[in-house]
Structure 1
């Protein structure tokens, strides 16, 4: 596997956050989650956590897994969503740059080997997590619609996904 695969291939690819179970994470010695917000937890246009999202966060908390939202979105968007869950967040994260990933890891007081990054974008979440030596799980986007920059990223991402499928590195259907 080359540099391309090292940085852009997620460790896992799943249908949604709901397929990520605390037992599975604990088997990998994961104690903390850095998760994206838009199109990972809810659609980019959904203001508040759904009951299902709340239940997932509670399940992680009950199992001793800390979650921090790291989003490239603005403070109002990320703070409004995160405050009702009573969790830490980082807004305008500038992913895939590493500072937000390091800050979140430090906030949660864990080693990077104990952190998983969960997100729907290969060019921000997976690339940023992999570059920083973190375990990465990519989810299928919650919504099919995106903002302009994300639409561009998805075009590139689609080529990467097709390449990984052809090479047999991943095996999934959207």
Structure 2
């Protein structure tokens, strides 16, 4: 029933995505959610770990693009210091933001992934766009008020996905980690 909400991969953190794994899977562009995926929703400055991961992606010629449902000013303020391109008001789970990024970077569906911490926006959007998705554990346990509603519904969906073995209770460390 909830198959459209099942991620392709499920890993602990976006920082576990390695250039080797991405190259091996023909991924040229990583689309990423902003809040609780790339940065903590309540700490827009990011971390040294984030900056190191972004440098590595740049060195390996893998483009990272933020695709966020937030407004332009919020996303610009958060990613400006990181010098990251972005699409704001992406309207996930619709495909608008994904298609906009794909057109901008001229990548086919099999050359791009969407990384995010929510099934109802990020994973569903990726599946609607017929691209692969990576579900990550939220960076922090707390959420903005509007995300708390999604989390409640998401917990019900997760129960069904666990039963169907479309989602694991164990977080992986890489795309190839099968444990």
TM-score by length of 1: 0.92
* Correspondent of 1:42 among 39, 42, 62: 39
Conserved in 2, the CA contact under 8 Å of 1:48 and 1:80?
Answer: no
Using the TM superposition, give the Cα deviation of residue 17 of structure 1 relative to its aligned residue in structure 2, in angstroms. 0.8
Taking the aligned partners of 2:39 and 2:56, their CA distance within structure 1 comes to 17
* Correspondent of 1:32 among 16, 29, 33: 29
Taking the aligned partners of 1:65 and 1:136, their CA distance within structure 2 comes to 16
The answer for the alignment partner of 1:123 in structure 2 is 120
Residues 119-174 of structure 1: per-residue CA shift (max 9 Å, x gap):
00111100001100111000011111112221111111112222222222232337
Name the SS for the 2:82 alignment partner: coil
The answer for the alignment partner of 2:174 in structure 1 is none
Residues 61-91 of structure 1: per-residue CA shift (max 9 Å, x gap):
1111101101111222211222222221111
* Correspondent of 2:136 among 114, 135, 139: 139
Q: Which runs of 4+ in 1 moved over 4 A?
A: none
Taking the aligned partners of 1:137 and 1:21, their CA distance within structure 2 comes to 13
Contiguous gaps of at least 5 residues in structure 2: 172-179
Count of paired positions: 171
Taking the aligned partners of 2:89 and 2:128, their CA distance within structure 1 comes to 19
Conserved in 1, the CA contact under 8 Å of 2:33 and 2:67?
Answer: yes
Conserved in 1, the CA contact under 8 Å of 2:40 and 2:46?
Answer: no
| 1:58 to 2:61 alignment | no
For 1:1-174, list aligned pairs within 5 A.
4-5=2-3, 7-173=4-170
Residues 75-124 of structure 1: per-residue CA shift (max 9 Å, x gap):
22211222222221111221111111100111122112100000001111
Contiguous gaps of at least 5 residues in structure 1: none
Moved more, 12-21 or 117-126: 12-21
